[in-house]
Structure 1
Amino acid sequence: MAQKNIPLFIPTFRTEECLEQIRECLDKGWTGLGFKTVELEEKWKEYTKLPHAHFLASATAGLDLAFNILKEENNWQDGDEVITTPMTFVSSNHAILYNRLKPVFADVDEYLCLDPKSVVERITPKTKAVLFVGIGGNAGRYAEVEKICKEKGLALVLDAAHMAGTKLNGDVPGRGADAVVYSYQAVKNMPTGDSGMICFKEAKFDEIVRKKSWLGINKDTFARTAGKGAYKWKYDVEYVGFKDHGNSIMAGIGLVSLKYLDQDNNYRRQIAAWYDEEFKNSGVKTVPVAPGCESSRHLYQILIGNRDELLAALNENGVYPGVHYRDNTEYRMYAYAKGTCPNSHYVSEHTLSLPMHMKLTREDVKYVADTVKKYAK
């Protein structure tokens, strides 16, 4: 039998449709912020029913801008606290540090999302916000955390990097959040080369982010270009902003990916159901999806006793899983919180993400699962 080669992720691009979008940008001579980014923003609002959407170069930029604007507009001080999770990619928590705020780590629950009880225990007079991460597309106990924030007067940022297409009780999560940030990075469910979207609840914050993501300039280049091509150079610079806006080439690819998002997520859920079937009564512990959550299934995670040994065995058999994530308190900039989140630490040592992408077949899933069951302890 030929050696298997089953990687964790393989992005799926509808190449010809993407090239049509890119060709239109090149033919028009407009590849930056402009007609495609506007179109994607409008279609994302239509898809999610969120009131605002601004296309950015990355989800990391979106998280940074969310805390930058919330801090400035709400008069938070340096050193004020944001309750967050240690089970996430470091960009989530770096965005807090970028803005001279302090990440305070709460523990995770069985869904690997913030545990509401732990969140409440971490609230102090200096707490200003909570950052909820929907890991793997799972909504966890998001609704409970949203309720806590409302009752305590805390801002809420939803890191929805994995959640493109996730529904909670039939609706897109985040309508009650101050900001929702999505990722369209290359291996995400709605892939581009790299980009993201920030969806503020308040119109005034959406207006500010459009300026701040274009160096603080109050008129972007697309708006400053008249129909006859006259370039309107006179503008004001209202903020010391960033160069974080998205471009039309990435937006064009995103428009194609959005077209197939629900279809692709349905297949991801089918793959997850196949894994569930294979692991039923096997003793392999899988991470559950929260009740009422229709997950995007960006990840399929298991918890295993001999994780590193199993990783090596899977690699030897042509299967290449991943780890999402290492407990952030293991990193030097967050080491002050080491030992404060025992569930997260346990998960960090035992979690394994199995291959999850559109090119997997039923046969592939069975092979991966059989190999896991053979070597798992």
Structure 2
Amino acid sequence: MIPIFKPKMNKAEILPELEKIFDLGWIGLGNKTAEFEKKFANYIGVKYAVGVNSATAALHLANLVLGIRKGDEVIVPSITFVSTALAPLYCGATPIFADIEEDTLCINPTDIERKITSKTKAIIPVHYGGHACRMEEIMKLAKENNLWIIEDNAHGCGGKYKDKMLGSIGVIGCFSFHAVKNLPTGDGGMITTNDEVIYNKLNKLRWLGIDKDTWTRSAEKGYSWRYSIDSLGFKYHMNDITSVIGLAQLKVLDEHNLIRRKYANKYDEAFKDINWIETPVEKNYAYSDRHNYVIKVPKRNELHEYLQTKGVSTGVHYEPIHHFKVFKEVKADLPVTERVWQKLLTLPLYPDMSETDFEKIVGEIIKFGEINSL
């Protein structure tokens, strides 16, 4: 079965470095995490990065550190993974769903503006599939209405908006290192910011509110058991095993993203004369890392089932999350979202994909169209 996603691991770098930390005996939050944070911040072009155990944790802490609380509203899209909207809920706030652009599937600034109220405190634009949201317009809305911008960049590691790296534009950027993401470590996440106060708070929040982590206390003048806790925190920290993998994967991220872009371009070329398939766009302001390749087709479910019988996995990213019962109290007026999601189908795309598999995928899709007279 050809998978939708498959991680390509830089084993030549990872395995020797894992041996080193195993021999050292320090595999928790330590110097490798600090090294990964520093190098990741440099890559994104920000002053600070804080390693956590998932993008969900990153989004939760981002909302928390910005003071999002009960009675507040946070504007999010509905075509996203559920973590985007759960994070405000964790803080007692209400996620308010804004509609998307039909072509990019990113949140629509025009609908964001319509959804802003006196209770709105933040906007979480999701760079869907690695394609940048219209950040200048979103940042302008934020400035005019005194709102925070939290970039959900779980899909966009290595992508750009104009000349800026995604995750460096809002006050906070949130990244995912889940197994299917462009920088896979198995799981993990990162928070980026240029704000020193936010950075210092995040460092404590991700480690139970403790003012100094164990590595820092061990590195000072021998191990010190003394620490202070002056606020509530969470066990969201990254560990050095994840960080060793992350450091190695960061070295090949751009290379792997180029392979993704190559196959995305090949899909575009293969489908360009097939009028029943609408392929993803890449606007002139965006450089996409091509986290996924999502087409819009009629008979979406039938095509999914057909490809399954032919050994090709496909998926739907996503069913609108406002459909789920957890959000039943939240009103949602999303005509584009409701119309478009029923056409979405995610095709296999990953750095290790073979030409043979690619040709099979394209061939079977074309055959389906012929069988169904599309």
Q: TM-score, normalised by structure 2?
A: 0.95
Counterpart of 2:235 in structure 1 is 243
Q: Deviations over 1:95-128 (max 9, x none)?
A: 1100001000000002011001000000111111
Q: Deviations over 1:233-278 (max 9, x none)?
A: 1111021100001000000000110000000001100000000000
Counterpart of 1:45 in structure 2 is 41
Q: Deviations over 1:150-200 (max 9, x none)?
A: 222110000000111102223203433111001111111111011110012
Contact 1:83 1:105 in 2 (8 A): yes
Counterpart of 2:112 in structure 1 is 119
* Local SS of the residue matching 2:217: coil
Alignment partner for residue 21 of structure 2, among 16, 22, 25? 25
Alignment of 1:1-377 (within 5 A): 5-71=1-67, 76-109=68-101, 110-226=103-219, 230-283=222-275, 284-337=277-330, 340-376=333-369, 377=374
Distance in 1 separating the partners of 2:64 and 2:220: 34
Distance in 2 separating the partners of 1:181 and 1:342: 28
Query: CA 1:244/1:339 → structure 2, altered by over 3 Å: closer, same or farther?
Result: closer
Contact 1:330 1:338 in 2 (8 A): no
Distance in 1 separating the partners of 2:265 and 2:220: 52
* Local SS of the residue matching 2:79: coil
**Letter in structure 2 aligned against 1:60:** T
Instruction: Please say which of residues 333-342 and 79-88 is displaced more in the overlay.
Output: 333-342
Instruction: Please say which of residues 164-173 and 201-210 is displaced more in the overlay.
Output: 164-173
1:365 positional shift: 2.1
**Letter in structure 1 aligned against 2:128:** I
1:337 positional shift: 4.2
Q: CA RMSD in A?
A: 1.4
* Local SS of the residue matching 2:149: strand
* Local SS of the residue matching 1:301: strand
* Local SS of the residue matching 2:219: coil
Distance in 1 separating the partners of 2:219 and 2:176: 32
Instruction: Please say which of residues 216-225 and 343-352 is displaced more in the overlay.
Output: 343-352
Gaps of 5+ in 2: none
1:218 positional shift: 0.3
**Letter in structure 2 aligned against 1:308:** N
* Local SS of the residue matching 2:9: coil
Distance in 1 separating the partners of 2:64 and 2:302: 42
Distance in 2 separating the partners of 1:214 and 1:271: 40
Contact 1:271 1:362 in 2 (8 A): no
Q: TM-score, normalised by structure 1?
A: 0.95
